[in-house]
Structure 1
């Protein structure tokens, strides 16, 4: 895209992960695409949409009759019936407008809620949830600012935009009926405005997109500052961060200025065309004459209605174009390929091989087959996952949990691909990410087991070493934990995650290597509670030979395969024994370093 020398290049320095949507410098208004996009979200509230338009049209008809009543009253003198009719029409207009607005508000807010839920559900399955393709503030802004713009477009369309168009058409028709020459002049002025609006508005989508992009860049710097606040402070990077923000704020300033100038032209065009048309009507009346004072009053009222309609068009069209831009930004998430290839819930892919977790010709990396045919993970009890040097237990656990696609093959649970949504719910994966949520301890446990009682909650917390949380300041188990559960320590957050897994309904629990489980005497009671009476399968990644020995089975991950057995049986194999020899050497080096005085 070329940029003129007089217009700053707003794309310079922008993050490549925030792609342009391919908008041309002269992009179409996008009316059809936005309507198609909104259709499924407006369908459940179609009667609110119809009601808003119907009551709005009825209000316009009531208002349109008012000038005719005024004309008759001025022509034939004061009449109590006419005055009563005039007052009744005005009251009817107000009531119908109020009802139309209420219906419009319901349609706009309900469709926005449905769109928000759809976008969030899609985000959970998209690569953007891991900040692939879009940065975190960009993903957040699509759930907030962009949804707000779409809602605003629906709101303004139903309450101001379409009624404004109907007001123009109806007023022009009645103006022509009252004074044909004035009606023709006003019609020419309206057409002139529409031509100007089309010409000025053609490039606004591109301008709007650039402005939103520049705003996202500013948000990204703020997000980085919050995330890396200790680094910024500790490394004295404040001045550098201020300079980065200033540069992006400057681009945002320029983009906003260009955007507002373009939008301002539409408002000025509407005002100018309205006044010129009004002047034309007055000149027609002065030069050609009209029937009388009533006709003059009626004509001026209809002219004023047309002018009001014209002045309502630019804000409406502006909001509509912004909504088109936001719709295209939202579709960067909703149209993205899923992060994990989920199977259609109506098409269950199953195998006839075994129950429990089973590997089928699995490869995590290209040209690196780990299993030939089917290999089952022993069901029920504790299974230690041990990895040779250079192998990632996290990657294998994600594939086992249906949270990542293998390079080849698949993993099944009771014969069904673990990525299937119904099966995925039967597998829980606990990662070393300790970010939790700004809610209560009770709510966290309730998310895993909706019917958990207070007694059961306190019991599982005691097993997890969190009995003291019943005395949390501010309400005990009902005290809010703050952003990312900052009230709790890292180990407390890990223990709370483990407690959630204990009370959860998953048949299989996968656990990454967690520091809180480093002590075997602490880990085993909690892991045993997790297995429970249901004999769940618990797979835990570990670097502890003692924990591996006390587990029922071991999965040993090598660069060329996976071996299943007990710890004692596998220790006979030199390759497996070498894993623990290397681990012992690392532990010895660590202890030596810890013994050196500072």
Structure 2
């Protein structure tokens, strides 16, 4: 048998931990494991009882053989009495069949237990990662998230399916065998117990070495997965900039490093297995030697020595499987650490403990002396105040990094301000009920993400119970109805993965229809017309006016043509508003917006 190696797994960003950090990680993993086991405690107890009984039945075999050789066989030879032999053979067969049946039952119970735990864990990861704030997803790479839900969970499943069974049954079988040997022949039992000292040292050495190797393996494996996912996700950029050779070199280096780590684990087994075989051989030789001397002296019978030899062989036979379990255990422990790390993350934008209901929002948005910066980065909005009356359309313009998108993210409550408050109709967004917040505020971004499914399903995202006629009305309002009807199956057309069946501009129109159907009190358009060409943009100007009517709107756009429909223009620079007025008034002035507008007009000419 060859050792298995870790494959397709992921790890932390570093492999070195302080002792306190390692203890904290272990405690976190044990808490997670305890919470997973708690609901299936009854099945776990049943599995334990079945395993104990089946192991006891399996251990009885060599003792029955000893009785048969020393007592039943002489009865046949001396008195032609076959009853003891028949009884021993029958009892041996009964214990063997019963033990096998119980092992089969245990496998079924353990499999149910594993599947229940994995179902719970898989759902927890998905639900929790959805609940985490945008800040987590912007800093945690998609490859690592995918790895948690796939390879890490598969590694844990493999441990629970096979490795854990091997460990528990192997350890229990070894203990029961040692006890049985001590009861049958205590001197042979002592020899085996003494040989357990070098066995313990060997197992300890292997465990410590493999722990370091497998932790490194998780780290390197994560890098392989992240590199692959990023390259495939950004394949357009790879093709556009002819990055294939560089990607090949980088991925090849990572793959070679991963191979080297796995080779180190194989070399560990190459040392461990011969060591285990040597200890088993020496133990067996000592027991046969000392037992043979005592048989010659008449101190013990031949059957007892035979049983002692069988017990020693049985004691060492599962240890190799236990060692292979250590392989799986290291991988699964590292995987459980990573999974528990994700589940231990807390949303930076938590739901309120006592939410305030706002059934009918009017759309009055206000920034009250807000200060905000991303994580440990610089301050983006310093002491920022802004009042947006209900129903007003404002346009935010300014250079890249001025804070426009940050302002939109705060209104959408993707982030919370470090200082101050953002309010909707006088209610701090941090106190607003999440359902009311999502119903009242909708953002349309440049990405215009479409999910797999029909066009109608994607438009109805903001209102799942909408009728087909309502969906069509929303599409008509934003000028998307005509091209949707021209699709092969109309509104029932599958847009394919990420909307690959429609153009970027059509995806944007579908996202507009989605926002119109959701009917929010506050609508944010973050570079939402960037994917449209000039004719398409002009075509939807009227649609935008329909979309923005009777609601508060915040438009972020570099194209100043979109700004013309705004009631008010805010020019931002370094997180501050430097100009605030109607579009016409700013154009006629001599400020920053007038310069931007003049440059834009010249670019059109």
Give, in whole Å, the separation in 2 of the partners of 1:565 and 1:91: 87
Distance change in 2, residues 1:17/1:412 (3 Å): farther
Tell me which of 404, 410, 413 is aligned to 2:415. 404
Deviation (angstroms), 1:359: 1.6
* 1:499 matched to 2:513: yes
Within-5 A mapping of 1:139-288: 139-156=145-162, 158-288=164-294
Range that drifts further, 557-566 or 309-318: 557-566
Distance change in 2, residues 1:190/1:523 (3 Å): farther
Give the structure 2 partner of residue 323 of structure 1: 332
- TM-score (normalised: structure 1): 0.80
Give the structure 2 partner of residue 12 of structure 1: none
Range that drifts further, 293-302 or 157-166: 293-302
Deviation (angstroms), 1:402: 0.6
* 1:413 matched to 2:424: yes
Give, in whole Å, the separation in 2 of the partners of 1:349 and 1:268: 68
Deviation (angstroms), 1:55: 1.9
Tell me which of 343, 354, 361 is aligned to 2:369. 361
Give the structure 2 partner of residue 4 of structure 1: none
Give, in whole Å, the separation in 1 of the partners of 2:29 and 2:91: 42
CA contact (8 A) 2:396 2:556 kept: yes
Give the structure 2 partner of residue 306 of structure 1: 315
Give, in whole Å, the separation in 1 of the partners of 2:505 and 2:247: 32
Give the structure 2 partner of residue 522 of structure 1: 540
Q: Map Cα deviations across residues 101-145 of structure 1 (whole Å, 9 max, x no partner).
A: 22322333333333334334444426775452x544333223322
Tell me the number of residue pairs that the alignment of Structure 1 and Structure 2 aligns: 562
Give, in whole Å, the separation in 1 of the partners of 2:589 and 2:277: 82
Give, in whole Å, the separation in 1 of the partners of 2:460 and 2:286: 71
Give the structure 2 partner of residue 541 of structure 1: 556
Q: Map Cα deviations across residues 218-241 of structure 1 (whole Å, 9 max, x no partner).
A: 334434433443454454443333
Secondary structure, aligned partner of 2:540: helix
Secondary structure, aligned partner of 1:387: strand
Deviation (angstroms), 1:488: 2.1
Secondary structure, aligned partner of 1:19: coil
Secondary structure, aligned partner of 1:402: coil
Tell me which of 419, 440, 447 is aligned to 1:433. 447
Q: Any stretches of 5+ residues in structure 1 without a counterpart?
A: 1-15, 593-598
Secondary structure, aligned partner of 2:290: helix
CA contact (8 A) 2:125 2:149 kept: yes
Deviation (angstroms), 1:197: 1.0
CA contact (8 A) 1:401 1:428 kept: yes
Deviation (angstroms), 1:43: 1.9
Distance change in 2, residues 1:512/1:153 (3 Å): same
Give the structure 2 partner of residue 384 of structure 1: 394
Give, in whole Å, the separation in 2 of the partners of 1:477 and 1:294: 82
Give, in whole Å, the separation in 1 of the partners of 2:307 and 2:569: 88
Deviation (angstroms), 1:494: 1.9
Give, in whole Å, the separation in 2 of the partners of 1:446 and 1:188: 72
Give the structure 2 partner of residue 99 of structure 1: 105
Give the structure 2 partner of residue 556 of structure 1: 570
Q: Map Cα deviations across residues 245-298 of structure 1 (whole Å, 9 max, x no partner).
A: 333333222222112222443444333333332333322332222744543453
CA contact (8 A) 1:17 1:135 kept: no
Give the structure 2 partner of residue 510 of structure 1: 524
Give, in whole Å, the separation in 1 of the partners of 2:600 and 2:26: 65
Deviation (angstroms), 1:40: 1.5
Give the structure 1 partner of residue 463 of structure 2: 449
* 1:582 matched to 2:595: yes
Give, in whole Å, the separation in 2 of the partners of 1:145 and 1:157: 16
Distance change in 2, residues 1:398/1:292 (3 Å): same
- TM-score (normalised: structure 2): 0.79
Give the structure 2 partner of residue 346 of structure 1: 353
Deviation (angstroms), 1:198: 0.8
Give the structure 1 partner of residue 34 of structure 2: 39
CA contact (8 A) 2:59 2:176 kept: yes
Give, in whole Å, the separation in 2 of the partners of 1:228 and 1:355: 38
Distance change in 2, residues 1:344/1:452 (3 Å): closer
Q: Map Cα deviations across residues 493-526 of structure 1 (whole Å, 9 max, x no partner).
A: 2223223323337553322122267735524436
Secondary structure, aligned partner of 2:245: helix
CA contact (8 A) 1:446 1:452 kept: yes
